[in-house]
């Protein structure tokens, strides 16, 4: 690539960024722990939605040692609303590793960062550039899209991102690319008229901008029917069961459920529940995971059995998984809090 073109791209994009950068709360503090939390939470979650969750998390777990000492269930409960709970489990494991190996601090060395559970090339580069001032390209989905369009490539590479870094300004550059991808070079219908690089964009000149980067053909996600009992006892409390410690929604709490199109009676039998009276069908839910889709048929019922009975206050302290979180919230107004 022509060095003059590289300098022009850098000049224009950094100038645009100075005028249009998003004022995101977590950008005001570059401490390594805060950057780590921000980047982990931002995976699969819009940056604008992270701020509230981040501040709440920091109040409860203000530093690495506090997070490491916490029970996993407490971490998962506070993660609720962000989804993809494996991120929270990896973060918890990473905190314990940082206490054991790095004195309770986020390490600065790239190899040490990559050794932490859940920290891949992108998060390591983001921490390196934002928290430690290292010249490292944070190559995320926004960067991949911007660069693929700019250079008319089916797919951009981390190496290309590295070649564009302005020395000493990696943090600003990484944020500039992210903001351009979030505000202008959006996945569908890119706003090319607002782009500071429009006349340099090879993908736009080729008429391919909107279709880049090329996405691999994905197999359709299997759809699984799930029958769920929103179970209450005579006191109006909600009955929950804990999922296995491994697999989908590991260790999370949920309403008693069975996959495979079971009847409410079959769900009760599988969970050793005794139902009292008729069950009431509730509106169906559709819940999408990364690799599957649940079609949930919920039923409200009264009964008793080997479940954990919770009132509204206790329910808020438990990590609720998947569609049961929605169902429990909907039931929350009907659950009494003891006086």
Residue 338's pLDDT is 37
Locate the domains of the chain by residue range: 3-211, 223-332
pTM for the whole structure: 0.81
3-state SS record for 66-109: HHHHCCHHHHHHHHCCCCCCHHHHHHHHHHHHHHHHHCCCCCCC
Q: Which of the following CATH numbers is that of domain 223-332: 3.30.420.40, 3.40.50.620, 3.90.79.10, 3.30.390.10?
A: 3.90.79.10
Kindly give the parts of the chain with pLDDT less than 50.
Answer: 333, 335-339
Residue 305's pLDDT is 95
Residue 27's pLDDT is 84
Residue 238's pLDDT is 94
Residue 337's pLDDT is 38
Q: Catalytic: which of 7, 39, 254, 259?
A: 39
266 is catalytic: no
Residue 2's pLDDT is 61
- Report pLDDT digits (tens) over 251-269: 899 999 999 999 999 999 9
Topology annotation, domain 3-211: Endonuclease III; domain 1 (1.10.340)
């Amino acid at each position: 690539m022509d060095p003059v073109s590289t300098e022009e791209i850098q000049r224009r994009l950094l100038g645009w960024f100075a005028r249009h950068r998003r004022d995101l709360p977590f950008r005001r503090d570059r401490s390594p722990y805060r950057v780590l939390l921000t980047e982990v939470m931002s995976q699969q979650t819009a940056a604008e939605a992270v701020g509230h969750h981040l501040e709440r998390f920091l109040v409860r777990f203000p530093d690495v040692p506090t997070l490491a000492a916490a029970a996993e269930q407490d971490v998962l409960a506070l993660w609720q609303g962000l989804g993809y709970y494996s991120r929270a489990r990896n973060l918890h494991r990473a905190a314990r590793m940082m206490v054991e190996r790095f004195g309770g601090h986020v390490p600065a060395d790239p190899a040490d960062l990559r050794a932490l559970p859940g920290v891949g090339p992108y998060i390591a580069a983001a921490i390196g550039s934002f928290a430690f001032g290292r010249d490292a390209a944070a190559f995320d989905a926004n960067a991949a899209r911007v660069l693929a369009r700019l250079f008319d490539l089916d797919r951009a590479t981390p190496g290309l991102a590295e070649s564009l870094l302005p020395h000493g300004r990696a943090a600003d550059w990484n944020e500039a690319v992210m903001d351009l991808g979030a505000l202008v070079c959006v996945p569908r219908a890119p706003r090319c008229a607002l782009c500071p690089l429009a006349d340099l964009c090879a993908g736009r000149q080729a008429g391919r901008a909107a279709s880049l980067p090329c996405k691999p053909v994905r197999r359709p996600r299997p759809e699984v029917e799930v029958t769920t009992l929103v179970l209450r006892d005579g006191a109006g409390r909600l009955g929950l069961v804990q999922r296995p410690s491994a697999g989908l929604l590991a260790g999370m709490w949920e309403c008693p459920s069975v996959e495979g199109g079971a009847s409410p009676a079959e769900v009760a039998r599988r969970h050793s529940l005794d139902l009292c009276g008729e069950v009431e069908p509730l509106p169906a839910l559709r819940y999408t995971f990364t690799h599957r889709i649940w079609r949930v048929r919920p039923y409200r019922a009264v009964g008793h059995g080997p479940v954990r009975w919770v009132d509204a206050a206790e329910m808020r302290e438990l990590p609720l998984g998947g569609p049961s979180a929605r169902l429990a919230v909907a039931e929350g107004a009907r659950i009494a809090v003891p006086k």
